[in-house]
């Protein structure tokens, strides 16, 4: 049996629902220590993180990922139990099979093969593993990155093992992610009887033209790597429930998914300018969920693209679509961050799986990336 498959199955059997690790990292330490990795557990808020590094020289190539998985949902809807790795129709089923225990196993076995074949490789290899990616992500990668920065550890390249492929293994690398920023807007009027509008001020009516302007606003044109920034309303609420009352307030929740062509401050200023132009009386509370990051095509994306081509024959594409990931934290301490992993069609779903035929090639792509950068 393939070592990568065997380790993937071991990890799936450990029911590490976020933020639990359930011994996954201890198993990785058992495998990495004999290879010469110095393994360090960094705990924060009950979350376990692993920083493992082999070598002290630059460049430092880091593989990053998470051992936690999302909850199973209704277990009786799974064809086989989610924490019993099961083969069916050429696929391996189990929670975490695609997001992202196969990637973790592939990183470790790739490192083992690379180190055995090239004991005198240049530079260093690091693994940054957390069990707080699928949850609030406040005690995971961000904490490890702070610790590495504080001690002056310089990262040169980072590959995050998130499931980025679309149809087949290798078709997509993510070289950035959009940022996310939410706002809660409360527009104030004066409540009153609907039959006496002259004694009230309707905040819904006052909001309407401002809302139209916000919807029509072109925030930016995007750039070579990103689609234009998008602004969307998620919730709007006004009214007391009675049909004869002009409401006193209307509340609008909205969200920006923004690219590197815009900034947090710039977007906030422009929203305020539109609201002020309409002379609204309002409160607006902002929450920045994550800043965007971008790694332009360069030595890391080339090393990964060449590894994919050599292993699978697939010509990969760079993409910045999808939600946020831990790449946003690592990008603050590492000049080149990309994400690459198996197809993502089943992630977070009932009957999550990975095709068995992709498991060893994924490990080989990671190993070839090490070869391309550290030999």
7 vs 137, beta carbon nearer Zn ion: 137
162 is an annotated ligand-binding site residue: yes
247 vs 327, beta carbon nearer Zn ion: 327
100 vs 111, beta carbon nearer Zn ion: 100
Smallest distance from the beta carbon of 162 to Zn ion, in angstroms?
Answer: 5
Backbone angles phi, psi at 358, to 5 degrees: -95, -10
348 is an annotated ligand-binding site residue: yes
Using a CB cutoff of 8 Å and minimum separation of 24, what contacts does 203-208 make?
203/238, 203/247, 203/248, 203/249, 203/250, 204/238, 204/239, 204/247, 204/250, 206/278, 206/280, 207/250, 207/252, 207/280
Catalytic residue among 21, 112, 113, 133: 133
Q: Between vectors from CA 22 to CA 21 and to CA 24, what angle results, nearest 5°?
A: 70
* Tokens found for residue 114: 């690379």
162 vs 206, beta carbon nearer Zn ion: 162
* Tokens found for residue 239: 């009214």
Backbone angles phi, psi at 206, to 5 degrees: -70, -35
- Residues contacting 75, CB < 8 A, separation 6+: 81, 82
CA distance 127 to 355: 25
Closest CA to 120 of 36, 16, 233, 199: 36
221 is an annotated ligand-binding site residue: no
Q: Between vectors from CA 67 to CA 74 and to CA 85, what angle results, nearest 5°?
A: 55
CA distance 354 to 342: 7
Catalytic residue among 9, 21, 68, 156: 68
118 vs 321, beta carbon nearer Zn ion: 321
Smallest distance from the beta carbon of 371 to Zn ion, in angstroms?
Answer: 25
Smallest distance from the beta carbon of 328 to Zn ion, in angstroms?
Answer: 13
Determine whether 21 is an active site residue: no
99 is an annotated ligand-binding site residue: yes
Determine whether 68 is an active site residue: yes
Smallest distance from the beta carbon of 99 to Zn ion, in angstroms?
Answer: 4
Smallest distance from the beta carbon of 190 to Zn ion, in angstroms?
Answer: 48
Residues that bind Zn ion (CB under 5 A): 99-100, 162
Active site amino acids = 68, 133
Binding site: residue ranges? 66, 99, 134, 162, 348
Q: Annotated binding site for Zn(2+), which residues?
A: 66, 99, 134, 162, 348
């Amino acid at each position: 049996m393939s070592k990568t498959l065997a380790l993937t199955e071991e990890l799936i059997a450990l029911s590490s629902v976020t933020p639990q690790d359930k011994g996954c990292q201890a198993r990785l330490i058992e495998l990495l220590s004999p290879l010469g990795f110095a393994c360090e557990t960094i705990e924060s808020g009950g979350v376990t993180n692993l920083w493992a590094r082999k070598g002290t020289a630059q460049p430092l190539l880091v593989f990053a990922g998470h051992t936690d998985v999302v909850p199973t949902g209704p277990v009786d809807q799974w064809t086989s139990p989610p924490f019993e790795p099961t083969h069916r129709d050429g696929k391996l089923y189990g929670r975490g099979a695609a997001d992202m225990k196969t990637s973790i196993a592939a990183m470790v076995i790739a490192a083992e093969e690379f180190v055995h074949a090239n004991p005198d490789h240049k530079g260093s290899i690091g693994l940054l593993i957390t069990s707080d990616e699928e949850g609030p992500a406040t005690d995971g990668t961000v904490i490890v990155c702070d610790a590495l920065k504080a001690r002056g550890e310089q990262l040169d390249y980072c590959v995050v093992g998130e499931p980025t492929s679309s149809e087949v293994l290798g078709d997509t690398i993510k070289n950035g992610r959009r940022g996310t920023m939410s706002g809660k807007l409360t527009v104030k009027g004066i409540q009153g009887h609907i039959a006496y509008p002259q004694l009230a001020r309707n905040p819904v009516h006052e909001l309407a033209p401002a809302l139209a302007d916000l919807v029509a606003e072109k925030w930016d044109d995007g750039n070579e790597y990103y689609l234009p920034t998008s602004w969307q309303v998620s919730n709007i609420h006004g009214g007391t429930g009675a049909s004869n009352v002009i409401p006193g307030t209307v509340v609008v929740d909205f969200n920006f998914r923004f690219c590197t062509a815009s900034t947090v401050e710039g977007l906030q200023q422009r929203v305020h300018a539109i609201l002020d132009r309409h002379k609204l009386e309002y409160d607006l509370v902002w929450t920045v969920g994550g800043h965007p990051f971008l790694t332009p095509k360069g030595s890391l994306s080339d090393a990964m693209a060449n590894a994919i081509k050599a292993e699978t024959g697939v010509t990969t594409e760079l993409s910045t679509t999808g939600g946020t990931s831990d790449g946003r934290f690592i990008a603050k301490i590492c000049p080149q961050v990309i994400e690459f992993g198996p197809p993502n069609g089943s992630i977070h779903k009932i009957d999550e799986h990975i095709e068995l035929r992709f498991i060893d090639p994924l490990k080989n792509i990671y190993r070839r990336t090490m070869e391309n950068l550290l030999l």
